[in-house]
Structure 1
């Protein structure tokens, strides 16, 4: 029964997830300059107008995604910091208790 209540945290997976979230955020941020690069390929008239609208909408959603990815990354980092700090503190207390015996 004790094994059912043990908490196992895969810190390596969390650290890797945080790193990937940072990479995703960076890629989303770097997309900002692409509109001007692509504009000449849209042609003119209605197609260019529609593409401009699409890119403007994409920019709004991209900003929201960046904020969300950043928030999740901070939560993951906080989780990693919390568990590694707690683990270090528990190990320290166990060493102290072992020395008192």
Structure 2
């Protein structure tokens, strides 16, 4: 009984992580491309073309990051649900064991 457990789960940290991932996803989803607004400030057409290419690449990478954030968020949520359910089952078993 004095042996340290093989697995410790910090559900508070998982819950906080899930919340932060949701916030990050929301921020990345709400980033607007302002290419048309900024075009007059870029100067020459060579610079404007390079900036347009950068913005297009950023949009692609941003979409990949949103997908990754969403995937990790689902994994964290599954972990919370799994360990929360397991913890509840163990607590219920202990309570039933005390009644006997």
Q: Which residue of 2 aligns with 1:82?
A: 82
**Hey, what's the Cα distance between the residues in 2 that align with 1:65 and 1:8?**
29
TM-score by length of 1: 0.88
Q: CA RMSD in A?
A: 1.6
Q: Does 1:53 align with 2:53?
A: yes
Match of 1:70 in 2: 70
User: Equivalents in 2 of 1:69, 1:98: separation in Å?
Assistant: 43
**What is the deviation of 1:61?**
0.5
The Cα shift of 1:18 comes to 0.6
Instruction: Indicate conservation of the 8 Å contact 2:25/2:69, yes or no.
Output: yes
Instruction: In structure 2, list runs of 5 or more residues that go unmatched.
Output: none
TM-score of the two chains, using structure 2 as the length reference: 0.89
5+ long unaligned stretches in structure 1: none
Tell me the residue number matched to 2:14. 14
In structure 1, what is the Cα distance between the partners aligned to 2:57 and 2:17?
A: 28
